[in-house]
Structure 1
Amino acid sequence: MKRQFLNSAIRVLSVLLLVPATFALGQEHKPVHFSGLINDYSPLSANVKGSPWEMHGQWSMHLRPDRGTAEFSAYLTMSGYGKTAEGAVDPTQPLVNPHTHHILLNNVRISWDMIGCPTYAAPTPTRGFQLNGTVSLLTGNGSNAPFETTPPSSTLQVCVTGVDDVPYSVSNANITLVFGGPATTHFGPQAIHGVVRIAAADPDDKNREFNKGDRY
């Protein structure tokens, strides 16, 4: 009888130990949704037509850790500046050649590291992940961008970085976009900076963020 009771107790204990591990694994594999803002400027460069450009927009990212893939989208408004009589860029004459861009990366592989991501001045991010791939869409005012090939061949690196999850910190805080290929003639090859605004573990979490008054 004692042996029978002991065997039953061991089986129950094994199940109890297994439940938290299984729950944690399920939590880690939930789809995660990020969104945020982009606000930056491209430098004045002979290789970037119309530069410098002012860039503002929103972005969103849907991660599927169980598949190791993600989708990314960004929606930007851009405008340049007028010039002085001497031909120099004049910041007092903004909103020259305003236009829009829609940018999509579909089903790209997630790299859980920061290797090759742009660096920051102190304080520097200590953790992050990245996406790298060929864009599936890159428009200018709704049409295929004039600098882009058909089908698109520009590449895009997207890095999300932050710091360790400790008090008074944000573990996913920053985003950078770095283009390669034809897109560099318009956006430049430098990092374009933005901020992470929302990170939701699932649609219910996202709805709770909406209910708190945060909006995309």
Structure 2
Amino acid sequence: MEKIVILTGAGISAESGLGTFRDEGGLWALHAIEDVATPEGFARDPGLVHRFYNARRAQAAQATPNPAHEALARLQAGFHGDLWIVTQNVDDLHEKAGSSNVLHMHGSLSGALCGACDHRWPAPLEMAPGDQCPDCGAPAARPDIVWFGEIPYHMERIWELVETADIFAAIGTSGQVYPAAAFAQHAGRAGAHCVELNLEDSINARDFAETRRGPASTLVPEWVDEILSH
């Protein structure tokens, strides 16, 4: 059975109105990464971090999938092999579009995590410092997001998928954040055909046998049509 593994990054959600690190004027432009996306930043000012993720959570709740998300759901429904989506994104647009087999390596805005006992539960739209864990009662609730300096989720499973893929595709990724930036090289060495669909060359574009340039909402439906027509 043929296996396709797809890595998606911020670029696939940008056309749904969810900004990337590098967008001017977006939420990220207002804050330093070390203040809102590190354990140290949360320890320093949990109120700031909660307000930042409350804003992102509200923004993501209003966002709708674009043609790229919808095309991947269509590919999953029509493909006769095994298809997995590994996403660096913390929104739920793949799921809203109808995709399953989605691994969120950087966590999810829809989740809450207890910093004391690691219990997880669905996040309310608004979180605040001192929110209690429903399991152990500790006032240690935080967003279930993998911050810089923390280990991404599902890594054992992801490496296994990358090593056994027949096709590995990266969509809307910058190639700047590891370990995801190493997936293409790893997949290629294991025999996968590696394709990058991106607005511009990523840092690791040389790791791909095939590169396509343009908006995800245009490139992804075209690529999906090609796969399904074979």
Would you say same fold, with TM above 0.5?
no
**TM-score, length basis structure 2:** 0.21
Q: Larger radius of gyration, structure 1 or 2?
A: 1
Structure with greater contact order relative to length (CA < 8 Å, sep ≥ 6): 2
**TM-score, length basis structure 1:** 0.22
